[in-house]
């Protein structure tokens, strides 16, 4: 009798689990307005960029929970600008709660089913943990972890997401940049690229470098950054912030749709960190604040703010040696902006993205044949393989610059800009919600990514002691 009861309970549990899973998969169908957004403590302009466009399946009512202050006011100003622009205005209705208990209020009211978070990175992992525990899906700006302690909590977050059958996903906009997409596509053509080289720490097979600027324009207006943005205990150091994108691209391009096991596949070789200096006038220009707050005094030397915004790391991933680095300057040269440099080295060619003055600060992709190959034979293979690219991206062409180098000619229709990429990521996430699952490689690869960045920080800091 006892065995029969246990068996019956097991069957009931299995039935409830299956029903729960089916209900979750059926909870998002793509129907208009079924996705209800919550924006939690928006302190970074990326939170607003998710709403720069509308999505049919997303409700116009968005619930905002935040402490009173300039961060939430700046966020709402951006949303209002999207609502009132002349070209394709949005129609968001922001329902705002401000108070010191904003997190508890969000959890108890449970007004939405998808939380968007982009702000203070020191708090972000805990925000994610709380939302997932309440059964709320999360679309998070990077980074989701800024140190080893946050990384351990983030692993718990993915466990909770699995238990609750909700989706946790980070916003990897750089996967939607056309030169990066094409670099990946050409690398998957053996006749063009050959095999990815393994490289060495001195001569890595993959190199990615990103240059960013504290003072910039967003949606046509000068960007005002919150003062906490310059505190690495809140924002995170450069080696765990922007490098998140670069480490993600190494995984995404070199090992497409493959699972990365951080315990077996990642080996750190070296990591470094250094500061960017800001004068008091520069700090005022980008924050609107006259004096350095008390929490930044630890980083002030001779009235100059020193921010650990820069870093690089060399590591091996599945035996391939890669180097990524991030550099932050105060502002960009005339006509310039944030820049990206990337190299993938193959046995037949190197695929190189350049975005300097020579390129008019616009990313360009070059195919450079490795020395010693027959030029005519290689060019024949290259032209024959191009049809595989144009089948996906019509209009892509090749411009021969010399006997060993070709420029990939990219029509302007594919260059939609960084801000548009937030909408593309969100559309992908909405599709995953409808399907009820992320691709099987996404979660382990997010864990591997944040293991790489947080361990690099640990290594770099150990060298500065």
Q: Is the pLDDT of residue 29 over 70?
A: yes
Q: Is the pLDDT of residue 236 over 90?
A: yes
Cα 316 to its chain centre, rounded Å, is 21
> Residue 465 — pLDDT band, cuts 50, 70, 90?
low
Is 232 exposed, middle or buried (CB count within 10 Å of its CB: 0-12, 13-18, 19+)?
A: buried
For the segment(s) 175-422+458-463, the CATH number from 1.10.20, 3.30.360, 2.60.120, 3.40.470 is: 3.30.360
Is 326 exposed, middle or buried (CB count within 10 Å of its CB: 0-12, 13-18, 19+)?
A: buried
Residue pLDDT, tens place only, 288-311: 999 999 999 999 999 999 999 999
pLDDT (0 to 100) of residue 220: 75
Closest Cα partner for 175 from 365, 428, 407, 411?
Answer: 428
Strand order in the sheet with 93-98: 93-98, 61-66, 37-40, 114-117, 137-140, 168-170
Closest Cα partner for 63 from 83, 43, 38?
Answer: 38
Residue pLDDT, tens place only, 310-369: 999 999 999 999 999 999 999 887 777 788 999 999 999 999 999 988 998 899 999 999
Percent of the chain at pLDDT exceeding 70: 94
Partners of residue 276 on adjacent β-strands: 307
Task: Give the residue-averaged pLDDT of 182-207.
Answer: 98
pLDDT (0 to 100) of residue 65: 98
Task: Give the residue-averaged pLDDT of 149-171.
Answer: 98
Closest Cα partner for 235 from 172, 145, 173, 298?
Answer: 145
Reported residue count of the chain is 465
Q: Are 223 and 45 in contact (CB under 8 A)?
A: yes
pLDDT (0 to 100) of residue 428: 97
Task: Give the residue-averaged pLDDT of 184-210.
Answer: 98
Q: Is the pLDDT of residue 4 over 60?
A: no
Q: Are 240 and 449 in contact (CB under 8 A)?
A: no
Q: Is the pLDDT of residue 181 over 70?
A: yes
Average pLDDT, the chain: 93
Q: Is the pLDDT of residue 11 over 80?
A: no
Give the three-state DSSP class for 167.
Answer: coil
CA distance 366 to 399: 9
pLDDT (0 to 100) of residue 224: 87
pLDDT (0 to 100) of residue 22: 36
Task: Give the residue-averaged pLDDT of 277-281.
Answer: 95
For the segment(s) 27-170, the CATH number from 2.60.120.460, 1.20.970.10, 1.10.3720.10, 3.40.50.720 is: 3.40.50.720
Domain ranges of the chain: 27-170, 175-422+458-463
> Residue 464 — pLDDT band, cuts 50, 70, 90?
confident
Q: Is the pLDDT of residue 384 over 70?
A: yes
> Residue 266 — pLDDT band, cuts 50, 70, 90?
very high
pLDDT (0 to 100) of residue 126: 98
Residue pLDDT, tens place only, 387-444: 999 999 999 999 999 999 999 999 999 999 889 999 999 999 999 999 999 999 999 9
Percent of the chain at pLDDT exceeding 90: 87
**At CA 143, angle to CA 138 and CA 149, rounded to 5?**
95
pLDDT (0 to 100) of residue 31: 96
CA distance 308 to 422: 26
> Residue 18 — pLDDT band, cuts 50, 70, 90?
very low
């Amino acid at each position: 009798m006892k065995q029969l009861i246990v068996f019956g309970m097991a069957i009931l549990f299995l039935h409830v689990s299956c029903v729960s899973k089916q209900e979750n998969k059926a909870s998002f169908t793509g129907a208009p307005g079924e996705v209800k957004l919550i924006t939690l403590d928006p302190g970074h302009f990326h939170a607003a960029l998710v709403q720069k466009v509308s999505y049919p399946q997303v409700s116009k009512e968005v619930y905002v929970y935040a402490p009173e202050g300039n961060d939430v006011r700046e966020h709402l100003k951006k949303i209002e600008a999207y609502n009132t622009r002349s070209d394709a205005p949005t129609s968001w209705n922001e329902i705002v709660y401000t108070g010191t208990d904003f997190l508890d209020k969000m959890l108890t009211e449970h007004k939405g089913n998808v939380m968007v978070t982009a702000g203070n990175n020191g708090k972000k992992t805990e925000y994610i943990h709380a939302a997932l525990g309440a059964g709320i899906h999360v679309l998070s700006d990077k980074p989701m972890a800024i140190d080893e302690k946050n990384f351990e909590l983030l692993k718990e977050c993915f466990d909770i997401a699995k238990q609750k059958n909700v989706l946790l996903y980070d916003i990897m906009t750089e996967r939607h940049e056309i030169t990066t997409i094409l670099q990946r596509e050409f690398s998957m053509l053996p006749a063009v690229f050959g095999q990815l080289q393994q490289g060495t720490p001195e001569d890595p097979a993959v190199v990615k470098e990103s240059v960013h600027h504290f003072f910039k324009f967003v949606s046509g207006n000068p960007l005002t950054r919150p003062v906490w943005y310059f505190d690495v205990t809140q924002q995170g150091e450069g080696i765990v912030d922007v490098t998140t994108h670069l480490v993600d691209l190494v995984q995404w391009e070199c090992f497409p749709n493959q699972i990365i096991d951080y315990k077996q596949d990642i080996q750190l070789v070296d990591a470094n960190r250094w500061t960017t200096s800001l004068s008091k006038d520069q700090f005022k220009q980008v924050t609107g604040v006259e004096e350095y707050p008390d929490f930044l005094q630890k980083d002030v030397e001779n009235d100059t703010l020193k921010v650990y915004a820069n870093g690089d790391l060399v590591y091996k991933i599945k035996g391939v040696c890669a180097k990524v680095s991030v550099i932050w300057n105060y502002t960009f040269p005339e006509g310039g902006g944030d820049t990206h440099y990337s190299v993938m080295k193959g046995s037949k060619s190197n695929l190189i993205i350049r975005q300097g003055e020579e390129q008019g600060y616009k990313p360009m992709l070059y195919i450079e044949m490795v020395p010693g190959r027959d030029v005519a034979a290689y060019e024949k293979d290259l032209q024959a393989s191009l049809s595989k690219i144009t089948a996906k991206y019509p209009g892509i062409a090749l411009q021969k610059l010399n006997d060993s180098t070709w420029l990939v000619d990219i029509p302007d229709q594919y260059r939609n800009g960084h801000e548009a990429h937030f909408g593309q990521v969100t559309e992908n996430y909405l599709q995953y919600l409808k399907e009820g699952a992320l691709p099987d490689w996404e979660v382990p690869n997010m864990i591997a990514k944040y293991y790489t960045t947080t361990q690099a920080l640990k290594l770099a800091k150990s060298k500065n002691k």
